[in-house]
Every structure is written in C-alpha cells, then in structure tokens.
Structure 1
Amino acid sequence: MSIAKMSLVSLTGGMDVLDDVLMRLYRQGDFHPEQALQYAGARGFEPLSGENPYSGLLSKITEIGLDAGMKLQYEPPKASGQTDARQYSRQYYQDFYNKFNDELTYLNKRRNFLRGEIEQDENALVQLKHIAALEVDFDELFSCEYIKIRFGRLPVDSYPKLNYYKDRMFVFVPFDKDKEYYWGAYFTLEENAPDIDNVFSSLYYERIRVPDFVHGKPEEAFAAIEKELAANRQELEQVKSRLEEIVSQNREEFRLVYSTLKFLNDSFGLRKYAAALGGNFYITGFIPQEKEKAFQEEFKALPGVAAEIKPHDSDKRLQTPTKLKNGWFSKPFEMFVEMYGLPSYTDIDPTGYVAFTYCLLFGIMFGDLGQGLLLVIGGALVWKWKRMNIARVINRIGIFSCIFGALYGSVFGLEHVLDPLYTNLLGLPGKPIEVMDPAMTNVVLVASIALGVVLICSSILVDIYIGLRKKDLERALFSANGVAGFIFYASVLAGGVMLLLKGVNLFHAPYVICLLVLPLTIILFKEPVGKLARGFRLREAKPKDGMGSYLTEGAFELFEVVLSFFSNTMSFLRVGGFVLSHAGMMAVVLTLSEMVGSAGSLLVMIIGNLFVMAMEGLIVGIQVLRLEFYEMFSRYFDGDGVPFTPIAVTPFKNRA
C-alpha cells in the first residue's frame, strides 16, 4: 500500500504549437492539470479563452450517428508523436457530415413516409374486411346529399338496446359480427344526424372513417389497396436495404471522423488550464514520477517547447494530488477509503490496513466454509461478467469467511461435517472453536472486545506515526490519538484486566496521577503545549480567547474523548454478537430442514443458506464498514487529499 510519487511539470512554448501540446497531453493519459488562475496572476499571464470550433460539429456528427444506429466508440490516436488527428481540415468533417446527412435524411424521410402509407393501407383493409358484404359503390354513398352514413362497430351487448330507439329516424345495417362487435353502418337524414350520433355514442358505437382514397365497391377497393400495399412494402424493403448499405459504407470513415472530432473537442477544452502572455503559453500540472522520462520524450520533437520537471512541492500554492497504488488484494478496498476521503499526499495510504481489517472482521462475523466458497466464486464471476468493483471485495471477504468457517467447523450451517478432519487427520480432540457451546459465549464476546482493543491501539499507533512523519508534535504526542491518549487508554485497560483477572488493584495514587491524570491533562492543554514544543514563547502559546473559555470548551471535549475510548471499545461487542447470531440463524435453518422431512430438506437448506447469505451478509458488511469508519478511521485518517485526475477524452454513453 502506498501513494504514487508525483512530480510537478510545467510546459512553455509558442502559441503556434499549443494545439499539438494539448493533444499530446491527452495521449499521455497521466497528466493532472492545474487551473491557470492559481499560478498565472503573479506572472502577468492571462487564462486562454475562446469558443470551441469543434463542439457544434461534434454534436451534429453524434446525432447523425445515433440516428444511423451506430455505436459511438472513441478510439484514441494510435501512438505518441503522430499527427493523425489533425491530418484533415474542419471543412473535410463538414463535407462528410453534409453528404452523409443528406443521404440519410432523404432515405429516412422516404422510409417514414412509406411506413405511414403502409399503416394507413393496413388499417383500411381491416375496415374493408368487415364491410365486404356491402354491394354499393363508396363514391355513390358518400355523394348522397341528404343522407349521412356512419361506418363503425357496435358492442354486442348494445345491439339489443337499439330497440329502445326504434322511433328515431335511423337504420342500422350490420355487415359482419364477431365475439365482441357488430360491424356495420347506420343511415340517417342530415337534419337528424346530431341526435342519432348522440344515441349511438351512448351505446358505445365506435366510428370507423373510411379513408378518402377508398373508391368503388369494397372488393374493388380491397384489391386496389392490397396492390398498393404490396408496392409500398417492396419499396420500403429497398429503402431499408439502401440505408444499411450507406451506413455500412460509411461506418469506418464515421468512426475515424467521430474519434478525431471527439479528441479535438476535448483537447481544445484543456485550454482553460493554460495561460498566455504575448505569443507564449504556460501549462502546469502533476505526473507520476515513473512517467517523467516518457513525458519529456513526448515533447522533445516539438520545436520551442520546454518541459520542466520539478519536485512535487516546488509551488506551495498547489496541493499535490493523491493517486493510490495498491496490489491485487487491497486495490478493491480503495473505494471504501475514497468514500471517507482520500489521504493527502504526505499521509499514508490506509487501503492495505483497511483491506486486512475489513476481511478479518467480516470473516470472524460470517464464518462458514461453504458460504465463503460461494462468495469467492460468485464475486469472481460477477467481476468477470459485470466488472463491478464490489464483486472483488466480495471475493476477498469470502476467503476470510472460508478461513474462519474452517476454524468454526461450519459448512453451510452443518457444524460437525469437518470433525473427522480435525480428529483423524490433525489429531485434535475436536474443532478448534465450538461456537454453539454455551461455555464459549463469554469467550467469544471477550475475544471480540480484545480484538477491538488491538485494532484501536493499532489505529492510534498509525496516527502517531503520521504525526511524527509530518513533524506535527501536537498530533503525535499530545492529542487523544497520540502518545498521551495511548498511555491513558492502555493504562486503564491494563488496570482493569489486572483487577478482574488477578485481583490486583493498580489504581493507586502514583499510577492514577502519572498514567491517567497526567495524560488527560496533556490532552486538555494539547494546543498550548504543542505550540511550546514548536518553539513559541509562553505568552504566544496562550489561548487567544482566554484560558477560561479554553478550559470550558476543552473540558467537554475531554469528556467526549474519554467516553469515545470506552464506547468505541464496547462497539466491538457486535463482532461477537454476529458470530453467535450467524450460528443461531443457521441452527434455525437446520431445524426447519429436519421438520419438513427428507423430501424438502435439501430445498429448505438451499433457500435458508441463500437467505442467510443475502440478509446477514449485507448487515455484516455494513457493520464492519461502520467499525472501520467510526472506530478506526476517525482516529488516524483526515481524508483531505485531492484525487489525481488525469485529463482524458470523455466517452459517450450510448443509448440503451
């Protein structure tokens, strides 16, 4: 576990090569830029500004690609030093867009028109099918001056109700009937049409409007529409084929055009990090130390460009970014560290410590060899298929679950499956830890508190180390998580253990004064004592708000410190509680499997194990994270670092 070493780099050169410099920085992929305004003001530089000439064209290319059904996949320039990305002018991209867009627009319009015509013809055929029994010419019907005709369908249960309106001036003629409707038309005089329309509307009559293009008798219209429909379908297939052909012909060129424009657009956006004076530009940022040689080689070929590499702390106005650097086992746990906050560049990377303690606590609380193996396998498969980082965490904690499951002798809740292994192969009287033994309950709970003490002490030692590394004596020696706090906590624990186990009372006056009162007094006055240790004079070390205000506030803080030591220690009781809880839940599953008999026993075991893994696994994972954050992280971790964010072309998220 470590934090990658950084170097501060500055690039200067003429404005005529700025675009080439920006694109090479993107190709590097390891350059963390700093804003120009942070450093340029004192030198008379001004930040660059200007409208991006590629953004509008990129938007057009993106939209036409989506319309054509293409996947927008960015491919970076092939190699450092090449200028493939600038071999074409903006006019080339504009011409490509115009030509491609014109072809697609025409074909899309024609395709949409044909689809509309086909839909219209298909609807007309459905209507004609139900009025095929009509032997009258449509043109003659609709040319009637005094009679109104309404084609449509009437629900079957509404048809008898027409008798209630037999005194009205209308005639309903059914042409067809299915399970739900009578298909037909009603005829009425023009002056009675509004009243009759209301009558049929109350009976849920659904009008069907015969399209204007339908002429002649139904069978004649039917044949004409089918002929037109076949022609439109044939042309639609031709249009689709032509669209696929055009997209296929332009796919490769589109990919190059899109990638180039995407690269040019994003690299132009890097100008906000540059400052200019006269005809020169200035860019600064951070790179990993291991990339120094490659970085300098990248810019050697550009005339007039100087790449200067300096120590990371050369400019005190800039905060060095943090890039975590961890191995195979610890790397997935970086997300837990980042959830709390990144360590600063001068701090230590706690990821390895977090990885080990998280897996250790989870394994203790969720010890089962069979379930642990499922976590290992399931985590590996999910990572392979979905690339979810949490899957790698599940894979690691599954390993520790297997280890403690073997110590508990538990396999899918079966507590004695491994007994022959311990007795016959290892020569032990039984499994190492019998969780279900009532006599072990107190041992498990006491052991969990002891583990908490070890982890809290180790967290304090980490904070002491960080304080000494930063030469912060107040933090390392006089704080609650420094030497003073460690002495107080260890002394209270030592005295308590000796009193409970040996009956020896260490809490005599010298012990209390030297190891309890004195450390607490130092913690109370840590700020003035820390200033004195840094060389301040006595009057300069006094609290600014006065000693009375300082003591009042400090007393409450000191009470909180003492309370947190004991509350944090007792929080680790949950570790032992979940050990017993897990064993108890699996005992319930076994009892249920025995109750259902041999037929459903296996099914109950499978469902029970999956339920326990899902529910208790999630709860245990959250509880361990809580212990990490509140009982350990809070003692040594500040989380005030700045993430190392190298510039990169932002990928487009394709529509689902």
Structure 2
Amino acid sequence: MSIAKLALVNIVGDMKSLDDVIIRCLDRGDFHPEPSQQAAGGIRGFTPLSEENPYTDALQKLTDAGVAAGLNPKYMPEYVRSDKLSRVAAHSRQYYEDFYRTFSEGLGALRERMNFLQGEIDQDEAALLILSHLAELDVDFDELFTCKYIKVRLGRLPLDSYQKLSFYAGKPFIFKSFDAEKDYRWGAYFCMAEDAPEIDDIFSSLYFERMRVPAFIHGTPETALTRLREEIATNREQLAAAKNQFQELVDAQRDRYYKLYTRLKFLSDSFDMRKYVSVLKREFIDVFYITGFIEESRADDFAKSLRLLADVTVEVKPDDSDKRLQPPTKLKNGWFSRPFEMFVEMYGLPAYGDFDPTPFVAFTYSLLFGVMFGDLGQGLVLVLGGWLLWRFKRFQIGAVVNRIGIFSCIFGTLYGSVFGFEELLTPFYTNVLGLPGKPIEVMAPENTNLILIAAVALGVVLICTCILMDIFVSLHKRDYERAFFSANGVAGLVFYGAVLFGAVMMFLAGKNYFTHLYVILLIVLPLAVILLKEPLGNLLRGLGAKPEEGMGAYLTVAPFELFEVVLSFFSNTMSFLRVGGFVLSHAGMMAVVFTLSEMVGNAASPAVIIIGNLFVMGMEGLIVGIQVLRLEFYEMFSRYFDGDGKPFSPVTVKGAGK
C-alpha cells in the first residue's frame, strides 16, 4: 500500500525504428513519456518532432461511416496485440480511403433509395388521410379542378364554425359535408370564380383548414384510394427489401470495418505520441530520443522488448537520475483501500516519494461513515448494492459503498439496530453473551451528551494523528521548518495538546493546570514559534532571520494568520460534533418511520417500514457520505497533505480499456 516505485527509461534509436518503438509502447500501455521539451531540452541539437497526423482525416471518415451504418466504432485490442503487431501498418492510408469510399457509396445509395421510398409512403399516406374523408365525393378530380367559372375548396371546418354557416346563408357559396370527426366537419365549398376572394375570407374567419389534393391524384376518390393503397403496399415491400440489403451490407463488412477501424485508430494514436519525441538530425542519420517512466518491476521486460528492434538503445536508470524531471505518481493499494484512491485524486495526488494517504483515508472514511450510519440491516444492503454496482456497472463509487457498508454493519451491531429495529439484537447480547444490554444505547436520553463528547474526542484523536503524520512527512522531506515550527508541526501539536489537556482536566477532574508557567511554556511559546515560523526556518537554514518580504510586512500579516490558526483548531474540533449529531439523527429518523407505520395500521405498516428504510438509506446515506468527505478534506487533508503530484499517465490507445 504505497506509491509505485518507478524507473527512468531513455530510448534512443534510428528514425527508421521510431514507428516500431511507438507501437510497442502503446501496445504495452505501461510507459509514461515526458514532453520532449522537458526530456531533451538540455541536450544540444535535439528538437521536438512536430508533424501533422496523416491518419486524422481517414479516421474521422471511417468513424462517420460506422455511425451512419449503425455501428459503434470501437477499439478492439485483439486485432493489434502480440504477433499481429507486425501487420498493423500493412495497409497504406489509401487502402483505408478506398474502403471508406466503397463502403460509404454502397450505404449511401441504399440510404438514398430508402429515403425516397419513405418519402413516397409518407406522401401517399398523407393523401390517403385526406381522401378518406372525401370518399363520398363522387366526382372526378381532374374535371372538378379544371372548372373555369367555379372554384372548389376542400378541407375541414370546426364544429362550432360549421354551426355558424347559417349566418352566411345569403352569400353565394355552397358547403357540402362529406365526413364528420369529433371536432371537425370535412367537406368542400363551391363558389363562382369572381366571388372566390370574398368567400375565401369568410371561411378563413371560420378557421376553415384547406386541404390541397396532390397533383398526382386522378379520378374519383374511390379510384384514387384504391390506387394509393396499392402504391403504399408496393413501396413498403421495396423499402423492406432495401433495408434488408442495407443490413446485409453492414453485416458483411462488420468484422472488416472493426479490424480496419482498430488498426487506423492504433496508427492515429501512435502518431500522436510523436509529440513526446525529440530528433537529432545528422548528416547520414536522424536519431530520435524518448524518455519517460515505467514501474520498476516492469522496466527490464520493457527494455528487453525494445532492444529486439534494430538500431534501438534502451537505458534504464533510477527514478531520480534526471533532476529536470519530476516523476509521476502511481498509487498502488490493496483490495480495501484501492477504491478510495478516487477521493485522494479529487483533492490531488501526492508527489512521487511522498506519503500515500489512501489507506488512512479508507479507514477513517469508513470508520466515520459507520459511526454516523450504524445499522446492521441497512449496512448489509449497502454492501450488496455496492458490490452489484461495481460488478455489473464498474462504478468506482460502488466499491466505496461496499466497503463503508461493512463498517455500517459493525456499528449497527454495536448499536443493536437492524433496519431501525433498535431492540432486535438485545436478546443476543443479554441471553447469549450475558451482557446487561446493548454495548451502545443510542436512544437513551442520558447517553446524548456522551455520544457528542465521544464524537469530539474522536475528532481530537484524528486531528492529532494528522499532525503527527505531517511531522513525519516533513521530516522525511527534510522540511524542518514545517516539521517543528508550523501549526501542523511540533509547535501546533504542543499548543493543541496543552489546551485540550488543560480543558479536559478542568472540566472532568476539577483541576486547573493553567498556571503561569504552563500557559507561557505550552501555549504562549508554541504560538510565538508559529508566529515566527519563517524567520526561525531561515535561521535553521543559515539564511538569517529576516523574512523575504521584510520583517515589518511579515509581522503585519503574521498575527492575522496566527489568529486563523487558533480559530481553525477550534472550528476543526467542533466540526466533529456532526458525527455525534448524525448518530442521533439516524436513530431519530428511524423512530419517525416506525411512528408512521403505527399510525397507518397493521396492513400498510410493512410497506411504510420498507419505504422508510429506503428513504433513509438514500437521503441520509448521501448526506452522511458528503459530510464525511468534507471532514476528510477540510479537517484532515488540509493538515498533512499537499496534493502537488502529477498523475502517472501511460500512453495507450484511447478506449483500449487496459
């Protein structure tokens, strides 16, 4: 459970072997290259390799073709692994262009045919809808619309407007209704050509919706309906055949498409890796240079695989060989701690060689969650639910929920709570274990203050632990100023411990330890050391006591920072009251659930209990999880963790899913 030990790797070779080196680096997926400006910036003659990726356009076209075909363009590593590597670059870019053109043209022709047929069907169905309401019109449409002196308008009229037609009985028009709907009357109105503008205005005011008969409709409505139904049936058959041809083409090219897409994706991403390459141009040979980091346990195997290539030299060095480069950080934790790496990464990675806080975070987060959300039954649900989320959805948070559910079960057992039934485990403790009752009685009024005090005491222990961790880390980094003179160093620990010890002894034992000597040596002096941290640190380094910004400016700002330090000790300690508060609120919410279940009667009581448990697990579980994360970040991380490391990012094909 630590930060993985790395080795520095330098790769030098003939430019002719560069593609093979890059391919092997991507295929392994365990090599973290450094930017060429940093890696070769100090080597005379080496310049970054800057070339435009020749595969970008072809990859985009192939991706678009796959999407249009209903395929999901995805990288399939099995096509470029192990012995198949030699065949990756077997095709030129023109080969991929030719496949794209042939595939796209075939699909495009079929898609155009399907769109045409669908358009014809939509057009005929729209006409069919209109004609179905005009079936009683026993007139040839060609004769009807070629009348020179009479105008005809077909459409539908709202029922309330239809009833108002009597108001226009004196107007020169005839309205003939052919069909009725729920809210409309279908029909046509006839008028003389010279009266058409006036009559059109009247029907427009009555919200008449005119339906234009398509020009391709001929004959009587009955004849046209028969012909339309036949055309629709024929077009649907042709559309189904075109769809089958489209799918057959996709199925026939599916495997080849994925192979070519995978290879092209691999080549495109491998070319992008050239930004990590520096080149030295000589008269007879061009030399490339790549440097980066790899796990120490994999370094020899990595070097061996590259040394098989002609004109390639690989040099493995200790991680600190090049002072210009900061090694990246790769967290390496065990089964229980590994899911909590996501919380550490949210705050920031530890620098390489620093202390990895993940195991501490895993334990404290699970502990605090279990204390605040203690219930055996609900904890088992969290364990199972978290496992299912991780097993089937690969959600990282599911693995976290699985772990914290274990601690929820532990404290739920101590509280004697199972799905809110606070006395369900009491017989086990009294009859089996011979105890007078449950180890912790949350609902007892006399225990309320004890729970809150215990929560603060837990917070004190955790804060002191964080300060001790910071002292250890600072000594390891030889940062003696921070280790001895900072608020999270020895001075801060002495001040915090002295204040707490004196307060506890005064309130619990009635003894006053706050004598003049005690206050001066253990409270005032540590505060003075914290106030003068920078001057004392400079003296320790032999640089003189004067701060960089001057003593006057320093003493102007430092007292305010000291006040903030003192305030933070108090506020951080009191923040842990929320731990005890949630212990009580969880029990209280479940008590409310059981009160409601009693109010609804025996029939609905089980449903209320189930729904209540689900509600508490969802709402309070989320709130507790957020509050514990807040305690981790603000009350603990800020005391011992800087998070100034950079991530270990090995090059691989995007979407390869190592």
- Residue identity in the other structure for 2:646: V
Q: Does 1:452 align with 2:423?
A: no
Preserved CA contact (<8 Å) 2:48 2:275: yes
- SS of 1:507's equivalent in the other structure is coil
Distance 1:458 1:220, change over 3 A: same
Q: TM (normalized to structure 1)?
A: 0.96
Aligned to 1:75: 76
Distance 2:504 2:231 in 1: 97
| Equivalent residues of 1:33, 1:646 under 8 A apart | yes
Q: How does 1:366-515 map to 2 (within 5 A)?
A: 366-515=373-522
Cα contact 1:330–1:352 (8 A) shared by 2: yes
Cα distance between partner residues in 1 of 2:415 and 2:134: 80
Is the contact between residue 28 and residue 652 of structure 2 (CA under 8 Å) also seen in structure 1?
no
* Counterparts of 1:71 and 1:398, CA distance in 2: 37
- 1:274 corresponding residue in structure 2: 277
Give 1:599 deviation, angstroms.
2.1
Decide whether the 8 Å contact of 2:460 with 2:573 is kept in 1.
yes
Mapped pair 1:615 → 2:619: yes
2:651 paired residue number: 647
How far did residue 26 of structure 1 move? 0.9
Question: Which residue is 2:356 aligned to?
Answer: 349
1:332 paired residue number = 339
Are 1:27 and 1:80, in contact at CA under 8 Å, matched by a contact in 2?
no
SS at match of 1:238: helix
Of 584, 607, 611 in structure 1, the residue corresponding to residue 588 of structure 2 is 584
Q: 1:46 is matched with which residue?
A: 47
| Paired residue type of 1:621 | G
Name the SS for the 2:604 alignment partner: helix
**Partner of 1:360 in structure 2?**
367
Cα distance, 1:531 vs. partner?
2.5
SS of the residue 1:174 aligns to: strand
CA distance in 2, matches of 1:220, 1:439: 93
Contact 1:80 1:298 in 2 (8 A): no
Q: What are the residue-to-residue correspondences of 1:534-553 with 2, within 5 Å?
A: 534=541, 536-537=542-543, 540-553=544-557
Q: Distance in 2 between matches of 1:154 and 1:641?
A: 74
Write the distance in 2 (CA, Å) between the matches of 1:554 and 1:97.
68
Aligned to 1:203: 206
Q: 1:572 aligns with which of 546, 560, 576?
A: 576
Q: Which moves more between the two structures, 483-492 or 427-436?
A: 483-492
Q: Select which of 176, 180, 198 maps to 1:177.
A: 180
CA contact 2:39–2:290 (8 Å) conserved in 1: no
Q: Secondary structure of the residue that 1:115 maps to in structure 2?
A: helix
> How far 1:81 moved relative to its partner?
7.5
The CA distance in 1 between the partners of 2:457 and 2:481, in whole Å, is 28
Alignment of 1:190-229 (within 5 A): 190-229=193-232
Among candidates 101, 109, 112, match of residue 112 of structure 2: 109
Question: SS state of the match for residue 82, structure 1?
Answer: helix
Equivalent residue, structure 1, for 2:19: 19
- 1:60 aligns to 2:55 (yes or no): no
- Structure 1 131/595 Cα, relative in aligned 2: closer, same or farther at 3 Å? closer
**Cα shift at 1:193:** 2.0
Read off the aligned partner of 1:261 and give its amino acid letter: L
Alignment-derived partner of residue 160 in structure 2: 157
Q: Distance in 1 between matches of 2:359 and 2:3?
A: 11
Mapped partners of 1:262, 1:81: distance in 2: 15
For 2:549 and 2:234, how far apart are their aligned partners in 1?
92
* Aligned residue identity for 1:237: A
Q: Distance in 1 between matches of 2:396 and 2:385?
A: 13
Post-superposition CA distance 1:166-197 (Å, at most 9, x none): 22222222222233322222222223222222
- Over the matched positions of the two proteins, sequence identity in percent amounts to 62
Tell me which stretches of 4 or more aligned residues in structure 1 moved more than 4 Å: none
> How far is 1:96 from its partner?
1.0
User: Which residue of 1 is the match for residue 140 of structure 2?
Assistant: 137
Residue deviations 1:142-177 (CA, integer Å, cap 9, x gap): 222222221111222221211222222222222222
What is the rounded CA distance, in whole Å, between the counterparts of 1:40 and 1:636 in structure 2?
A: 35
Contact 1:24/1:81 (<8 A) preserved: no
Alpha-carbon separation, structure 2, partners of 1:472 and 1:2: 21
Q: Which of 238, 254, 267 is the equivalent residue of 1:235?
A: 238
Give the partner amino acid of 2:14: G
AA of the residue aligned to 1:29: G
Deviations 1:270-295 (A, max 9, x none): 11121212112112221111220221
Alpha-carbon distance in 2 for matches of 1:361, 1:526: 33
The 1:652–1:154 alpha-carbon spacing in structure 2 relative to 1, beyond 3 Å, is: farther
Distance across 2 between alignment mates of 1:588 and 1:128: 65
Question: 1:552 aligns to what SS in structure 2?
Answer: helix
Shift of 1:639: 0.8
| C-alpha contact 2:491 2:526 (8 A) present in aligned 1 | yes
RMSD between superposed Cα atoms in Å: 1.8
Deviation track 1:190-221 (CA, whole Å, cap 9, x = no partner) reads 23222222221222211111111111222222
| Kept in 1: contact 2:416–2:426 (CA 8 A) | yes
Task: Please state whether the residue corresponding to 1:62 is helix, strand or coil.
Answer: helix
Cα deviations by residue, 1:61-109 (Å, 9 ceiling, x for unpaired): 1111111111212112121682221111222111111111111111110
Paired residues in the alignment total 650
Verify the 8 A CA contact 2:538 2:547 in the aligned structure 1. no
- Answer yes or no: is the 8 Å Cα contact 1:81–1:298 preserved in 2: no
1:222 CA displacement: 2.1
Q: How does 1:293-308 map to 2 (within 5 A)?
A: 293-308=300-315
Secondary structure in 2 matching 1:131:
coil
CA distance in 2, matches of 1:405, 1:186: 81
After TM superposition, give the deviation of residue 527 of structure 1 in Å: 1.7
Structure 1 letter corresponding to 2:260: V
DSSP-derived class of the 1:599 partner = coil
Contact kept in structure 2, 1:26 and 1:649, CA below 8 Å: yes
Q: Conserved in 2, the CA contact under 8 Å of 1:296 and 1:307?
A: yes
**Structure 1 contact 4–323 (Cα < 8 Å) conserved:** yes
In structure 1, what is the Cα distance between the partners aligned to 2:373 and 2:40?
56
* Bigger mean CA offset, 38-47 vs 611-620: 38-47
Q: Which amino acid aligns with 1:10?
A: N
Task: Give 3-state SS (helix, strand or coil) of 2:647's partner.
Answer: coil
For 1:50, give the aligned amino acid: E
Report if aligned partners of 1:26, 1:267 keep a CA contact under 8 Å in 2: yes
Contact 1:72 1:652 in 2 (8 A): no
SS at match of 2:445: coil
Query: Which deviates the most, 247-256 or 221-230?
Result: 221-230
3-state SS of the aligned residue for 2:334?
Answer: coil
Could you tell me how far apart the structure 2 residues matched to 1:428 and 1:364 are? 22
Change (3 A) 1:193 1:647: farther
Point out where structure 1 has 5 or more consecutive residues left out of the alignment.
none
Distance 1:565 1:496 in 2: 14
1:461-501 per-residue CA deviation (whole Å, 9 max, x = no partner) reads 11011011111111112211111211221122222222222
